[in-house]
Amino acid sequence: MKKITLQSIASSSILAVALALTGCTVGPDFKQPDPPAVQGYTREPLRSDTVSADTTGGTEQQFVAGMDIPAQWWTLFQSAQLNAVIAQAIKASPDLQSAQAALRAAEEQVAVQRGSYFPAVDSSFSPARQKVPTTPIQSETPVFNLYTTQVNVSYSADVFGGNRRQAENLIAQARQQRFQLEAAYLTLTANVVAAAVQEASLRVQISATEEAIRSQTTLRGLLQRQYALGDISQADVAAQAAAMAQTQATLPPLQNALSIQRNRLTALTGRLPSQELEEKFVLSQLQLPQQLPVSLPSNLVRQRPDVRTAEEQLHAASAAVGVATANMLPQITLTANIGSSATQLGNLFAGGTGFWALAGSVTQPLFAGGALLHKKRAAEAVMEQASAQYRSTVILAFQNVADSLRALQYDAQTLKAQLAAERAASKSLEISRKSVQLGASSPQTLLTAQLTYQLAVINLAQAQAARFADTAALFQALGGGWWNRTDDNVVDGKLPSSKPLP
């Protein structure tokens, strides 16, 4: 008889693994969804550029089809302060750190599942001291030592691909975490830009309101002197006082909004409100990018982190159907052990002390109350749900891009109109001030001109901020250029991760 050794058992196990890997894999094979068959983001062609205005944020912008997006797209605003704050946010954001930890956990789960591809090998050593029952014939105490050592090998043959489908499911989930990390990265950077722009806009609005209050204070002194001379009525003085009070009442809400934006920026950088940032933002220190990318629709679904997340969710659901299907089919398990047992430690590997065993089993589920069938149907329903969610995410992505493109065109037109309104209001205010000083117009005329000019300045600041904010929104809607990053979170310039996955 051929002698069975540990080497022969290991060879048999390896052969079993090789045979299992050539088996079939049940369940649907995932196919990457096709991109939408459209050529653009709007029904009619968009203009290739925007109108311009001779003011901050009034630069003409060109839309460049197929232009790639830089990884650090926010540097296009040419603000050293903005770059510094975003660098702090990326370094200290708890949201990013949480997403990175979730990715590492998902990758480790993949490694755990891959362990099922190989046989499980355990070794053991069991020393024991025993006593057997005595008889009148025996003259010696029946107490002895027994030493046993053995190696156990077990393997579940993946004939129908259940383990491989489970690994595929976990790999898809890990990739999903990768893109959720990129989504967190993109959301963080876009939120910092939006908060900085809003802060800059609020500073202009506060400055305009304070200037209006100073002008109205000067006017109040003038009207009080004219009233003392009997040139105007008390009603004119009261009307000016009421208008001034209304202007003063608009200042605290603006200051509160600025405080909220400062706290938001501080929180985005991973700090507490008492650790407020030193950097402050004004619109004049930001440059509006002149060329804006417009990704091809076929590329958008590969660039948006949320779309890629939904795709991997669909992939995981598809693999789960294969797992549920494999669980309904026969499960084959192979086991083997080899060892030695002796009453003396020195004789543990002597001749005649060895033993071995080989075993195999096939388990076919026959009746489980319909549980396995319903689990498979549930997995198929989850896959249908994931497919619908993927389509919904794609539609939302295209809507975001279309909204941003439209907003940028209308923002430019609005800014041009607001600039004209501000200049007209400024000229009207200057004429009214001179006219009142000469006594040619009533104080109410100057009061109206002041309020009109204040509103025009605030509207202009809001229009300027909208161009910056919606420019950032376009970069976010197009995916943010993560595929061009070369830091530790990107593998081969393609996928964000700490290590590659197939």
142 by Cβ neighbours in 10 Å (0-12 / 13-18 / 19+) ranks as exposed
Q: Interior CA angle at 225 toward 219 and 228, to 5°?
A: 140
Question: Given the structure tokens 């299907």, which residue do they identify?
Answer: 325
Q: Average pLDDT, stretch 298-312?
A: 95
| pLDDT beyond 50 at 277 | yes
Radius of gyration of the chain measured on its C-alpha atoms? 37
- Range with the poorest average pLDDT among 247-256, 313-322, 361-370: 361-370
User: How far is the C-alpha of 365 from the C-alpha of 375, rounded, in Å?
Assistant: 14
| pLDDT beyond 80 at 13 | no
Q: pLDDT at position 489, please?
A: 46
Question: Given the structure tokens 């979170």, which residue do they identify?
Answer: 489
* Token output for 368: 């489980």
Q: pLDDT at position 451, please?
A: 85
Nearest alpha-carbon partner for 82 in 265, 252, 213, 231: 265
Q: pLDDT at position 408, please?
A: 95
Residue 472 and residue 289 in contact, taking contact as beta carbons nearer than 8 Å: no
User: How far is the C-alpha of 413 from the C-alpha of 426, rounded, in Å?
Assistant: 20
- Range with the poorest average pLDDT among 22-26, 190-194, 201-205: 22-26
Q: pLDDT at position 1, please?
A: 37
Average pLDDT, the chain: 87
Q: pLDDT at position 494, please?
A: 40
What's the pLDDT tens digit per position in 55-114?
A: 999 999 999 998 999 999 999 999 999 999 999 999 999 999 999 999 999 999 999 999
Beta bridge partners of 156: 333
Q: pLDDT at position 139, please?
A: 55
**Helix/strand/coil for 129:** strand
User: How far is the C-alpha of 156 from the C-alpha of 330, rounded, in Å?
Assistant: 11
The residue type found at 352 is G
What's the pLDDT tens digit per position in 376-426?
A: 999 999 999 999 999 999 999 999 999 999 999 999 999 999 999 999 999
Cβ neighbours around 136 below 10 Å, total: 5
Q: Give exposure, 469-485, as e/b (b: 16+ Cβ within 10 Å).
A: bbbbbbbbbbbbbbbeb
> How confident is residue 492, by pLDDT bands cut at 50, 70 and 90?
very low
Q: pLDDT at position 493, please?
A: 35
| pLDDT beyond 80 at 162 | yes
> How confident is residue 18, by pLDDT bands cut at 50, 70 and 90?
very low
Q: Average pLDDT, stretch 212-240?
A: 82
Q: What is the pTM of this model?
A: 0.84
What's the pLDDT tens digit per position in 232-265?
A: 788 888 888 888 898 899 999 999 999 999 999 9
User: How far is the C-alpha of 207 from the C-alpha of 210, rounded, in Å?
Assistant: 5
Residues whose CB is less than 8 angstroms from the CB of residue 485 and which lie 6 or more positions away in sequence, other chains included: 71, 493, 496
Percent of the chain beyond pLDDT 70? 91
User: How far is the C-alpha of 139 from the C-alpha of 86, rounded, in Å?
Assistant: 88
338 membership: H or E segment, kind and range: strand 331-342
| pLDDT beyond 90 at 352 | no
| pLDDT beyond 70 at 371 | yes
Question: Is the domain defined by 28-118+159-329+371-496 classed in CATH 1.10.150.170?
Answer: no
Question: Given the structure tokens 């706290």, which residue do they identify?
Answer: 263
> How confident is residue 6, by pLDDT bands cut at 50, 70 and 90?
very low
User: Terminal CA-to-CA distance of the chain, rounded, Å?
Assistant: 46
Q: pLDDT at position 435, please?
A: 84
User: How far is the C-alpha of 420 from the C-alpha of 456, rounded, in Å?
Assistant: 9
Residue 177, Cα to own-chain centre: how many angstroms? 9
